[in-house]
Amino acid sequence: MKKQIITPAEHKDIIKEFDLGRKWSLKADAVVIGSGAGGAVTAAELAKNGWKVVLIEEGSYFHPGIFSNDEFLSQARLYRDAGYVLTENQTASIVQGRTLGGSTTVNWQTSLYPPSYVTDEWRDRFGLPGYGRKEEISSYVEEVHKRLNVHEVPTKLINRNNGVLMRGGRKLGLHPEVLKNNNNGCKGLGRCGLGCPINAKQSMFLTYIPDAIAAGAIVVTNMRAVKISDGKTKRVTAEFTPDPYQASPEEIIEEMQIEAPVVIVSCGALEGPALLQRSGLGNEMVGKNLKLHPTCTIFARFNSKIDMWHGPPQSVVIKDGHNQKGTGYGFWLEVAPFRPTLTSAIMPFYGARQFRNIKDYTKFNAGIVLVRDGADGATKGKVEWSWGKRKVHYEITRTDGTNMLLGLKMLAEVQAAAGATELIFPFTDMLEEFKVVPGSKFDWVLSRSFEPGVLPIGSAHPHGSIQASSDPKTGAIDPNFELYGHRNIFVMDASWIPTGLSVNPQITTMSSALRAARKLAGEKSKRLD
């Protein structure tokens, strides 16, 4: 079989070539479920070391010629649940990619690795050494950086949206920093969240997925893993998933069954636990302690154009609040490049007041507070498969909520210092804009409620729901990312991270997957016997 990305368009030829009915049975050394930051890296590493790899992806394959500037269309095709995965109490929304390359296809390129106090906690609490930047992981981080062309955003590409943090932060004596992005030839088109139309963003489908294919891997899109059957030889059953905006061919493979000694679950911190649970695999820690890196937005109106959508999405960060009272927990300030459709969905107010604000869309900055959750020891987050449905539960804890309020206060001060005339806070019981006047104070923010329904939160960074630990009492997978109680079933994505991460997860996920996959690849004879 040709080594290629197999999309629904190729099903007819495969059915004819192999005389198939509705099912397609394959054998491999390893099957990788999910093609994002963890799955793509893992598939490439195993394939380069001589493993026969089948990589399946629930979403569709898109390339620059297909990426659209239409927000509704893009969200439906590129994101899980059209961009709005809601918690069961509907007070938190989660953005997650569902396409070849996963969230790396639609993320905002922010390339960070967690500070030492985060990796020290992994070592001390969970028995996971080697993740400090001066330890073993460093070489893997640098390898990933090189493959993705990670570099600081050039000054000329720092847009006005990010400039608000730079200008306001400096006026207040804070320490804004220039972020690193992963791209090659970025023109600042502002299309990152809809798929880069010029192949500048170095997502998985431009880097590690081609690497995997070149090394012999078979990549199959539009196939959702529904069950993993354990045994010496595992069997992954996957079902066809159509593109929501594209008619499927008349002849399709409705079901795949892939037999392999090794299975790697890389379908993310929401779908991974659900898959393991409906397969009856793993211990009681599967699905527990979900972290979201909860986020809140303040929209700031300026007298001049901001055009928040334009340019590299994130190029400046303020970390001054990251380590509250020396705990290692706190918040970061970044910005979001919300386009008009998303802005209108999450900006508070209705009717004439909302119309007034959306009319001035080009004059708004969107500042965001990102909280490292888990300050109280564990989060109130979990994923469960129940009554045929994946359910996500999450509520912000007391200390995390306090840190969110501290972050909102600092963000408001930064935006005001940068010249904002009005601020729209995320509190649902605030029914009008806050008018900024000389001497405006924001201490009142600290007394606001962060209860569910009063302070809605968002996230694009779910992690930790299948956390790693040297002790099965506190983790679902061991330090090598192997599922406790199930030989040769691994989890390699952001699910393994045992604490709140503090930073955007792409680089951590990729470098840790590379490290674990390289170790696994070296055990080929042992694992495939």
pLDDT tens digits for range 86-102: 999 998 999 999 999 99
Predicted model pTM = 0.96
CATH number at residue 250: 3.50.50.60
Report if residue 58 sits inside a domain: yes
DSSP 285-352: TTTBS-B---EEEEEEE-SS---TTSS-S--EEE-TTSSGGGSS--EEEEE----HHHHHHHS---HH
Domain count, the chain: 2
CATH number at residue 390: 3.30.410
Domain check: are 127 and 215 in the same one? yes
Domain check: are 134 and 205 in the same one? yes
Structural domain for 215, as ranges: 5-149+193-289+462-527
Domain check: are 237 and 311 in the same one? no
Q: What is the DSSP letter of 185?
A: S
Domain check: are 257 and 155 in the same one? no
CA distances (Å), 505 to each of 69, 390, 513, 515, in order?
A: 26, 22, 12, 16
> Which among 435, 459, 483 is the end of a domain?
459
Report if residue 188 sits inside a domain: no
Q: For residues 517 and 227, give the distance between their C-alpha atoms in angstroms, rounded to a whole number.
A: 22
Predicted confidence pLDDT, tens digits, the chain (529 residues): 565 899 999 999 999 998 888 999 999 999 999 999 999 999 999 999 999 999 999 999 988 888 988 888 888 899 999 888 999 999 899 999 999 999 999 999 999 999 999 999 999 999 999 999 999 999 999 999 999 999 999 999 999 999 999 999 999 999 999 999 999 999 999 999 999 999 999 999 999 999 999 999 999 999 999 999 999 999 999 999 998 777 888 899 999 999 999 999 999 999 999 999 999 999 999 999 999 999 999 999 999 999 999 999 999 999 999 999 999 999 999 999 999 988 988 899 889 999 999 999 999 999 999 999 999 998 999 999 999 999 999 999 999 999 999 999 999 999 999 999 999 999 999 999 999 999 999 999 999 999 998 999 999 999 999 999 999 999 999 999 999 999 999 999 999 999 999 999 999 999 999 999 999 999 999 999 8
Domain check: are 353 and 491 in the same one? no
Domain check: are 266 and 296 in the same one? no
Report if residue 271 sits inside a domain: yes
> Which among 459, 481, 506 is the end of a domain?
459
> Which among 459, 487, 508 is the end of a domain?
459
Report if residue 99 sits inside a domain: yes
Domain check: are 423 and 299 in the same one? yes
Domain check: are 337 and 315 in the same one? yes
Cα–Cα nearest to 297, from 212, 239, 368: 368
